[in-house]
Amino acid sequence: MCGRYVLGPATDNYWVDLRGFLDTLGIRYNVAPTSTVGILRHGSDGREPAAVRWGLIPSWAKDAKIAYSTINARSESVAEKPAFRAAFKRRRCMVFADGYYEWTGPKGDKQPHFIRFADGEPMLFFGLWETWRGPKDEPLDEPLETCTIITTSSNERLAEIHDRMPCLVRCDSDDIDLWLDPEFEDADHLKTLLVPSEEEFATTAVNRYVNKVGNEGEQCLEPAE
C-alpha cells in the first residue's frame, strides 16, 4: 500500500508554472490519509491542478467513513470494484509527490524507508478522484472532492521493502495525458499503464519520527541512526 508520502522541494522546483497552487499546499514531509493533497486532472482548458482530500468517497456513500479504506485502489481490480469503477471511467488523476514511505519490521518496531527516484526528480502517482455531496437525506453545504492512489505489485528491488508500490511515472511521461483524458475509455489499455515501475530508485531508512502521523518537517527524512 501507499499510506504516507512527501510533497516537497523536488515537486515545487519541477512544476514552476504551478508554484502558486503548490504554495497553498505547502512543503510537507509526512502527507497522511484524509489530509488535503494535490492532484493533476483534466479540466475545461486541459490539465488543471486541484486540492482534494486523500481517501476516495464514492458518490453513493452514506457517510465519509469509507475513506479510511479507500486511500489505495489495487490496479488488478480498480476498474471493477464498486467504490472505484465510475471514477476509473471518467475521473482519473495524477497525484504530486517527491517520493513515498514504506515500513519494515515487526509491529511496534517499524522501520520507515523513504523511496524516491535515484536522480531525485519528482514523481506522479496514478489516481482517481470523485465528488461526494453527502448522504441524500443530509447533503453537504459544499461538495467534497476526494482521491485514491492506485497501487500494484512492487518491482523486484522494492519488493524487499514491501510487496506493493504506487503506480507511478515521471512528470514528463507521455502516459499522463492519456490517463487524464476522460474521453479515452479503453479500460484494457489503461490497465497497461498500471504496472510496476522499472525506474532506478533510491531507498533510505529514515528517522522513526515519521511514524507518527502528526509529525512534520525535514526531520522526517533524516537517516536512521
| Domain boundaries, given as residue ranges, for the chain | 5-221
Give catalytic status of residue 222 as yes or no.
no
- Catalytic entry in 48, 80, 93, 102: 102
Low-confidence winner among 132-146, 179-193, 197-211 (lowest mean pLDDT): 132-146
Q: Residue 1 has what pLDDT?
A: 78
pLDDT digits (tens, 9 = 90+) for 26-67: 999 999 999 999 999 999 989 999 999 999 999 999 999 999
Measured CA to CA, the distance from residue 133 to residue 12 in angstroms comes to 31
5-221, CATH topology level: hypothetical protein yedk fold (3.90.1680)
Residues with Cβ within 8 Å of 34's Cβ and at least 6 positions away in sequence, in order, are: 53, 54, 55, 67, 68
In the annotation, is 2 catalytic?
A: yes
User: Helix and strand tally (H, E) in the chain?
Assistant: 5, 13
